[in-house]
Amino acid sequence: MSAKDTPDPSPAVEQIDKPMWLDEIGPGGTASGFLHADPHHPMMFVKRRRPILMVTFDNLSNVNDRDPARLPWAYKFARDNQLCHLGVYANLANWYRDATLIEKMQAMAKDGFFEGYDRCVFSGSSMGAFASLVFGQLAPNAHVMAFNPQSTLDEAKVPWEERYLTGRRQDWTLPLGDAADAIGRVERAFVFYDPYFEPDQNHVDRLLAGKGAGKTTTLMKCWYSSHKSAVFLRKIGALKPLMMEAALGDLTAHQFYQMYRDRRRLPWYRGSLSHYFEERDRPEMVARAKTAFRRAQRKMAKTTIDRSL
């Protein structure tokens, strides 16, 4: 029997994609940092060149992801722009109502973890947006980008909130449980939401009623994006530029609304706008919305052709 016919006695090894972060904080990695193991809320920290710290929180869509190569929210954005990054994972739909996590974040703040940076930017969507607001108050001069945040799910404070049954069942007596108490304690809070989506508008009203909120909060109205403002902004190419301005520049409402003009080319926007008028039995406005969308599409197509000549 030839050598090539000799059976290999070693068991087959399953090939697993190497986690992207391994190149940075694994053995022989290019950066310093840590991976903090926890069954509910693991953390990953990567220290990079720029003295800007991003702190991000997973949302509900990440909860059931058990991929060993899973990345924290906005990891690629932070890596590509050489921002330091603390990513907090969520393995439960518990709105970060976890005593161990809260104590860990408070201890990190007490030990000065969030100090020494030119800016700390906290960010997340929905459940992650709530977390970015309540934990953002732990960092000095924090800037928060909150996409469709809940102010709290404490049923005594928001009896009208009928979504997120699992979240509403959590222990809301734990510290840092109301973003309306926190929003006035950060340096700047950018709140992205759809004012036509009533549940989110109700939470924004609570946030604005918080002490000091008027001085720190800038509302970014993402009309007709429902509860998916971050996804909507990504589809029109605005999410990364907005995050860059928040991290490195001076994000303003004017900049946001200039970028948001590109919503007019997105079929999603046309559909949401039409649905809004259909629900209100205004067929003439549905027709106008569709006509305006087709006109905008033709104009953009012509602009593209003219630029290519």
Q: Which of 106, 118, 100, 84 is nearest to 40 (CA)?
A: 100
Please report the pLDDT score of residue 289 as a whole number: 61
CB-CB contact of 38 with 101 (8 Å) = yes
Lowest mean pLDDT among 173-182, 203-212, 246-255: 246-255
How large is the average pLDDT for residues 185-204? 97
Chain Cα centroid distance, residue 207: 17
CB-CB contact of 242 with 224 (8 Å) = no
Query: Above 60 in pLDDT, residue 278?
Result: yes
Please report the pLDDT score of residue 286 as a whole number: 59
Place of tokens 């991976």: 35
Chain Cα centroid distance, residue 58: 7
Q: 266: pLDDT confidence band, cut at 50, 70 and 90?
A: confident
Higher local confidence (pLDDT), 124 or 304: 124
Q: 186: pLDDT confidence band, cut at 50, 70 and 90?
A: very high
Q: 99: pLDDT confidence band, cut at 50, 70 and 90?
A: very high
Please report the pLDDT score of residue 304 as a whole number: 44
Q: Residue 295 has which token pair?
A: 């006109």
Span 40-84, pLDDT tens digits: 999 999 999 999 999 999 999 999 888 888 999 999 999 999 999
Higher local confidence (pLDDT), 43 or 268: 43
Mean pLDDT, the chain, whole residue set: 88
Query: Above 60 in pLDDT, residue 234?
Result: yes
Query: Above 50 in pLDDT, residue 308?
Result: no
Span 113-150, pLDDT tens digits: 999 999 999 999 999 999 999 999 999 989 999 999 99
Q: Residue 267 has which token pair?
A: 């079929």
Three-state SS across the chain? CCHHHCCCCCCCCCCCCCCCCHHHHCCCCCCEEEEECCCCCCEEEEECCEEEEEEEECCHHHCCCCCCCCCCCCHHHHHHCCEEEEEECCCCCCCCCCHHHHHHHHHHHHCCCCCCCCEEEEEEECHHHHHHHHHHCCCCCEEEEEECCCCCCCCCCCCCCCCCHHHHCCCCCCCCCCHHHHHHHCCEEEEEECCCCHHHHHHHHHHHCCCCHHHHEEEEECCCCCCCHHHHHHHCCCHHHHHHHHHHCCCCHHHHHHHHHHHHHCHHHHHHHHHHHHHCCCHHHHHHHHHHHHHHHHHHHHHHHHHHC
Please report the pLDDT score of residue 171 as a whole number: 98
Span 284-295, pLDDT tens digits: 765 666 666 666
List all residues 6 or more positions away from 203 whose beta carbon is below 8 Å from its beta carbon: 149, 150, 151, 158, 161, 193
92 vs 104: CA distance, rounded Å:
17
Amino acid code (one letter) for 156: A
Cα(first)–Cα(last) distance of the chain, in Å?
68
Please report the pLDDT score of residue 232 as a whole number: 92
- What are residue 192's phi and psi, to 5 degrees? -100, 125
Higher local confidence (pLDDT), 218 or 26: 218
Query: Above 50 in pLDDT, residue 185?
Result: yes
102 vs 125: CA distance, rounded Å:
19
111 vs 82: CA distance, rounded Å:
24
